[in-house]
Amino acid sequence: MQKLSIIIPVYNEVSTIAQVMHVISNLELIGGIMKEIIVVNDCSTDGTRNEIETAQVVLKDSSIKVLHHIKNQGKGGAIHTGIREATGDYTIIQDADLELEPKEINFLIEAVLNGNADVVYGSRFLGSKVKGGSILSNMANGFLTRLSNWIFGIKITDMETCYKLVPTVEFKALNLVEKRFGFEPEITAKLAKNKALNWAEVPITYNARTEAQGKKIGWKDGFRAIWCILKYGLGK
């Protein structure tokens, strides 16, 4: 791995996006790996665009590429745009908040460099106590993960995790279609169909936001996730 593409999908994150861009820009990857940062603003309406453009000027980081959707397409749609632009050997998604610890991206990279895996998921439920998140949301996550394991024929502990480290060529070949939060099970289902890929999980830190702090996923997204698990897991 010589270069990592980090895609940051953004929608109405005016209070956090500048900090996230600073943290990711200053992130040092192990093994001297280079990075490209692809920020996709999904037609934000709250001043996020100004925050992104200001941060880009302040940072003066040539590895940052900013793209703006003229129409809101959903988080999945923003990720589709980022994947098309990715030129790294591997790609990972970084949310536009700090629920996860960006420095722990190196934990996932390490699993690849050690030769143990092609695809690495960062699990919020592996090896450490869950920090934050309601009991209901954690139960829902556990159910969705168990269902996906059963349908996809895999064994992981956190299907809905943001941190999915995937070879860019594999990401581009998935032909993703889900525009909202259904893209998580869609990615996992389509990766699972490639039996040549070796999987690994590493524990990561999780500091969950509340809905009042900007958490956007809701119960309707849970039902959509179930549908996507069945649709992409049982379909061809």
Check residue 68 and give its pLDDT.
97
Look at residue 90 and give its three-state secondary structure. Answer: strand
C-alpha 81/C-alpha 69 separation (Å) is 9
Give the end-to-end CA distance of the chain in Å, rounded to a whole number: 31
Check residue 139 and give its pLDDT.
81
Tens digit of pLDDT for each residue in 29-78? 999 999 999 999 999 999 999 999 999 999 999 999 999 999 999 999 99
State the DSSP code for 16.
Answer: T
Check residue 2 and give its pLDDT.
96
Task: Sketch the domain layout of the chain as residue ranges.
Answer: 3-234
C-alpha separations of 15 from 12, 44, 104, 106 in Å? 9, 12, 22, 26
Check residue 131 and give its pLDDT.
59
CA-based radius of gyration for the chain? 17
Check residue 133 and give its pLDDT.
60
Per-residue confidence in pLDDT tens, the chain, 236 aa: 999 999 999 999 999 999 999 999 999 999 999 999 999 999 999 999 999 999 999 999 999 999 999 999 999 999 999 999 999 999 999 999 989 999 999 999 999 999 879 999 999 988 765 555 667 777 888 899 999 999 999 999 999 999 999 999 999 999 999 988 789 999 999 999 999 999 999 999 988 755 544 445 555 677 888 989 999 988 76
Assigned architecture for domain 3-234: Alpha-Beta Complex (3.90)
Check residue 132 and give its pLDDT.
58
Check residue 116 and give its pLDDT.
79
Check residue 44 and give its pLDDT.
97
Check residue 225 and give its pLDDT.
87
Check residue 128 and give its pLDDT.
60
